[in-house]
Structure 1
Amino acid sequence: MDIENDQEPSVPGRELVTICLLASVAGVVIGGVGGAFRWCLNHVERWRLEMVEWAHTLPGPGWLVPVAITALGALLAASIVRWVPLAAGSGIQHVEAVDRHQADPPGFAVLPSKFVGALLGIGSGLVLGREGPIVHMGATVGAETARRTGNADQVRLLQTAVSGAGLAVAFNAPIGGALFVFEEVTRTFRFRVVVAVMFSVATGVACSRLIIGDAPDFAARPVATPSVALLPAFVVFGLLTGLVGAAYNRLVVGSLHLVDSFRSLSPVTKAAIIGGLVGLLSIVAPWAAGGGDALVQHVVGGGALALPVVAWYVLLRFVAGPLSYAAGTPGGLFAPLLALGALWGLLYAGVCEAIVPGIDSSLAIPMAIVGMATLFAATVRAPLTGVVLVVEMTAVTGVTVPMLAASICAVVVAHATGTPPVYDSLRERMLGASPGTR
């Protein structure tokens, strides 16, 4: 990551004022849009879980109801992508490509397409995250706001800056959203970008909290700071998670290639088939479908899960996430990664408790929280962003040191495998493909 200061030309006062005003306006807009999206998604997700419970009470083939609903949601979301191809997938790779002058900034049509398409896909049960659509909607809002000035440089600047506000709104994590821009999107600190990011993030999160509240996303049970003697356990966990993250990245890209290989089927048909499979999965294991917020809350809140059940969910979500992403509907990777990381940490803690003397069940929640940040770091290769996001989402600071140790170990191992960061792979795929941008 480069830190540019003396090398960067000074910003004229009038331009700086313009950037601050535009970033603030765009932040207010994405705060309202992103907050409304989260509010809608929360209600749709609650309805989905209630629907799955209701389906279990139906006589005969009641299990077909969730299958049909997820298939229909995926089909409708993929139909929207047919009209607006840029709405497919996460959108973060497109934000990065625009910042690198490899693609054009998004047009306004991306915003309603992402909003509705992601509600249909994620809300029906696909294992996708809310953050990708909100980040892309933020980039769209930023680009559209700056277009009013007629300055091409500010269009790219604002689309990049307000994408960070989108991530901040998605996770109610303002510092994490800002770091995401510096560590992952631009990989540099430039004064104009820093100013635009800070203004858009501050106004965006402030506005979104009027809709979704200002509490952390997850109410974690109080966690005592782990003993320094346990640090080697976190280091080993980080090394193993590096391998898991590299495998997950390969599976994401491999799933896209596999689904694309069925050329005789239309994208809408393939999305419906994948939706049906995930809907069937939700009958067998309801928490294996969807973004995973309810599952994470159960884990970090101290809810009980038997070790075989945890292992089962790890396996299911490890496969269901990349498969859902391959459907090509609007949706991101972050939120499912956080859920998978929490489960993976819980599984590791359970194994350690069974085989390592001196380790007991008190390690479970700290390891689950560390797992969220560590798997994120291994796949995205943005360890500081992952650590800060998880700290802001859980309001748990006692595991910061083991989280940093595990995350950097995971990044080193994942890098050593030769597997690129997931968004680098997706960006290369997007630039080398025809209209799809998954």
Structure 2
Amino acid sequence: MAPVVDVARVEYQGNGLTPLQDYGKTDRHLWISRLNASRREKPAWARGRSTPLSRHRHRLMAQAILIGLLTGAVAVCFHLALDYGELLRNRILDFARRYPEWGPSIVLSLALIGVMLSATLVIRIAPEAAGSGIPHLKIVLQGRRPFRWLRVLIVKFVSTVVGVTGGLVLGRGGPSVHMGGAIGQGVANLWPGKHSEDRPILLAAGGGAGLSAAFNSPLAGLVFVLEELEWRFASLEFFTTAVACLAADMVCRAVLGQYPTFHLASAGSPPLTLLPAFVPVGILSALLGALFNRSLLTAQSLIGLRSWPRLAWWLILASMVTVVGWRFPTLLGSGQDFVDGMLEGSALPPEAVALFFLIRFILTIGSSSSGAAGGLFIPILVLGALLGWGVGETIRLFLPELNVDSRLFAVVGMAAYFTGVVHAPLTAIVLIIEMTGNYTLILPLFIACFSALLVADWAGSLPLYEALLENDWRKDRFKRVIDRIRS
């Protein structure tokens, strides 16, 4: 057994204290008294811990709380601004439809001003703010591009609100993630002291907090960072992101209320015999999701050609928005109210579902390719809800004895189509559970989402944000080559 003095010396040095000299066993009482004094200076839970690591952890927690609070505040303002923009657009549409002679010109002017102003803000001030911003966030995390956080934050906010007010089919999910990442970058830049190694952690935490604040879904924000942003996830990064997501969600719930994003009327769990019917939902979601990704990439490539006048595309898009807004005003904007109507029991025959799916599909592609800022989360979920509803109505039509509830298929379709487009099944499942507040659909969600993922992989479809990231990177490299040739 080691002498007491030797044990004391080891523990004494392990606590970060260096003895002046070794007095030997005769002075062991001096060693023990000084060791006990060093123990009393620290609480029991902190003895033997690394002080620099503790300070690092505490700093990250403080930064995460600040990021979450700021992201939640921005998300609340963003949510209210978008709601007001949609309300203003609907009032203008109601007024214009009273005058069939010159009313369409009002709707066309509103749509054209919305798309031109929204896209011009992005093109002139912050091109990296175009679209959802998630590909830009991923490329910044990879260290391949700088982040002008304040410029992106302002342009993203204003451009998305203006575009949605004009009738573009855009959502708040992607912009909230991008703005949350911008806030994380800003906190990292402005925090006293230089801690460049923490910048990616705070940026990813801000992105997760943005998704948490957008849909009152803190778990989905955490899973999204792990699954989609593909950031390293040690315990420190995990807890930093979790704290930011929780802080952002608390702010939004305190101001906007503790309500789910989609209000699903009471619906029980589907019987186990009906579970195989959700496999076709996953298969169709994968195939139509691959078509969506390919169509969006093709549209962005065509519109990016210099020979194609961007103003002409804006005029075509505004004309489509005018026609749809005049006949089906609820199909414009994010579409959240439209899905709420479906989940509350509004009757939609299969032929109407097919028409609405086609309209929203085209408008989503066009709006995302216009150059304006705006997200794809809710537009993708709307397409998935229409797809799931159509499958449910078809089953109910041909197999009435199953007593199918199409609302359940609409909810499962949202998650499955999101998986088919983004290839993030865990995010889709957790997001839909939190957005609907319904945990009884966990088995159908897993069946449909993983069916969609398997079929999408089999079809060779790339995840949407990964494909957009690579597309942007290729365009940047091509532009640099052209600039070198010209110089």
TM-score (norm 1): 0.93
Q: Deviations over 1:369-389 (max 9, x none)?
A: 001111001111110111111
Q: Is the 8 A contact 1:278 1:324 kept in 2?
A: no
Tell me how far apart the structure 1 counterparts of residues 65 and 312 of structure 2 sit (CA, whole Å).
42
Q: Is the 8 A contact 2:204 2:231 kept in 1?
A: no
Q: Deviations over 1:92-151 (max 9, x none)?
A: 011111222222234211111111110001222111111111111100000000112422
Using a 3 Å threshold, how does the CA distance of structure 1 residues 397 and 80 change in structure 2: closer, same or farther? same
Q: Does 1:222 align with 2:263?
A: no
Letter in 2 for 1:376: F
Q: Is the 8 A contact 1:164 1:180 kept in 2?
A: yes
Q: Is the 8 A contact 1:52 1:283 kept in 2?
A: yes
Alignment of 1:134-153 (within 5 A): 134-149=176-191, 150-153=194-197
The residue number in structure 2 matching 1:160 is 204
Tell me how far apart the structure 2 counterparts of residues 429 and 191 of structure 1 sit (CA, whole Å).
33
The residue number in structure 2 matching 1:300 is 343
Letter in 1 for 2:379: P
Structure 1 outlier segments of 4+, above 4 Å: none
Structure 1 residue 178, shift from structure 2 partner: 1.0
The residue number in structure 2 matching 1:386 is 428
Q: Does 1:420 align with 2:462?
A: yes
Letter in 2 for 1:152: S
The residue number in structure 1 matching 2:47 is none
The residue number in structure 1 matching 2:275 is 231
State the secondary structure of the residue aligned to 1:141.
helix
Which has the higher mean CA deviation after the structures are superposed, 366-375 or 67-76? 67-76
Q: Deviations over 1:152-210 (max 9, x none)?
A: 22222111111110011111111111111011102552222212111111111111223
The residue number in structure 1 matching 2:371 is 328
Aligned match for 1:121, one of 149, 163, 169: 163
Point out which structure has higher relative CO (alpha carbons under 8 A, 6+ apart).
1
Using a 3 Å threshold, how does the CA distance of structure 1 residues 435 and 114 change in structure 2: closer, same or farther? farther
Tell me how far apart the structure 2 counterparts of residues 239 and 137 of structure 1 sit (CA, whole Å).
34
Aligned match for 2:354, one of 293, 300, 311: 311
Tell me how far apart the structure 2 counterparts of residues 114 and 10 of structure 1 sit (CA, whole Å).
40
Which has the higher mean CA deviation after the structures are superposed, 386-395 or 181-190? 181-190
Letter in 2 for 1:39: L
Aligned match for 2:250, one of 206, 222, 232: 206
TM-score (norm 2): 0.84
Letter in 1 for 2:223: L
Q: Deviations over 1:224-283 (max 9, x none)?
A: 100111111101221221111111111111111122236352x46644542332233221
Q: Deviations over 1:67-110 (max 9, x none)?
A: 21111011111111121111111100111112222222342111
Tell me how far apart the structure 2 counterparts of residues 315 and 341 of structure 1 sit (CA, whole Å).
12
Q: Does 1:44 align with 2:85?
A: yes
Aligned match for 1:257, one of 290, 298, 301: 301
The residue number in structure 1 matching 2:437 is 395
Q: Is the 8 A contact 1:78 1:268 kept in 2?
A: no
The residue number in structure 1 matching 2:233 is 189
Q: Does 1:429 align with 2:481?
A: no
Tell me how far apart the structure 1 counterparts of residues 239 and 318 of structure 2 sit (CA, whole Å).
42
Structure 1 residue 49, shift from structure 2 partner: 2.2
State the secondary structure of the residue aligned to 2:169.
coil
Tell me how far apart the structure 2 counterparts of residues 353 and 11 of structure 1 sit (CA, whole Å).
63
Letter in 2 for 1:73: G
Letter in 2 for 1:54: F
Tell me how far apart the structure 2 counterparts of residues 413 and 248 of structure 1 sit (CA, whole Å).
15
Tell me how far apart the structure 1 counterparts of residues 156 and 312 of structure 2 sit (CA, whole Å).
20
Tell me how far apart the structure 2 counterparts of residues 327 and 239 of structure 1 sit (CA, whole Å).
30
Using a 3 Å threshold, how does the CA distance of structure 1 residues 126 and 139 change in structure 2: closer, same or farther? same
Aligned match for 1:84, one of 109, 126, 142: 126
Counting aligned pairs with the same residue, the percent is: 32
Q: Is the 8 A contact 2:416 2:445 kept in 1?
A: yes
Tell me how far apart the structure 2 counterparts of residues 238 and 262 of structure 1 sit (CA, whole Å).
38
Q: Deviations over 1:274-327 (max 9, x none)?
A: 233223322122122211101110111112223322211011111111111000
Tell me how far apart the structure 2 counterparts of residues 127 and 87 of structure 1 sit (CA, whole Å).
17
Q: Deviations over 1:313-366 (max 9, x none)?
A: 011111111111000100011110011111111111111111235233x42010
Specify every segment of 5 or more residues in structure 2 that has no aligned partner in the other structure, as ranges: 1-49, 479-487
Aligned match for 2:101, one of 60, 63, 74: 60
Q: Is the 8 A contact 2:418 2:428 kept in 1?
A: yes
Letter in 2 for 1:148: L
Tell me how far apart the structure 2 counterparts of residues 114 and 432 of structure 1 sit (CA, whole Å).
23
Which has the higher mean CA deviation after the structures are superposed, 221-230 or 297-306? 297-306
Tell me how far apart the structure 1 counterparts of residues 121 and 387 of structure 2 sit (CA, whole Å).
34
Using a 3 Å threshold, how does the CA distance of structure 1 residues 368 and 10 change in structure 2: closer, same or farther? farther
Larger Rg belongs to: 2
Q: Does 1:279 align with 2:344?
A: no
Letter in 1 for 2:407: I
Tell me how far apart the structure 2 counterparts of residues 235 and 168 of structure 1 sit (CA, whole Å).
29
Specify every segment of 5 or more residues in structure 1 that has no aligned partner in the other structure, as ranges: 1-8
Letter in 2 for 1:99: L
Using a 3 Å threshold, how does the CA distance of structure 1 residues 122 and 356 change in structure 2: closer, same or farther? same
Q: Is the 8 A contact 1:27 1:202 kept in 2?
A: yes
Aligned match for 1:111, one of 122, 137, 153: 153
| Equivalent residue pairs, number | 427
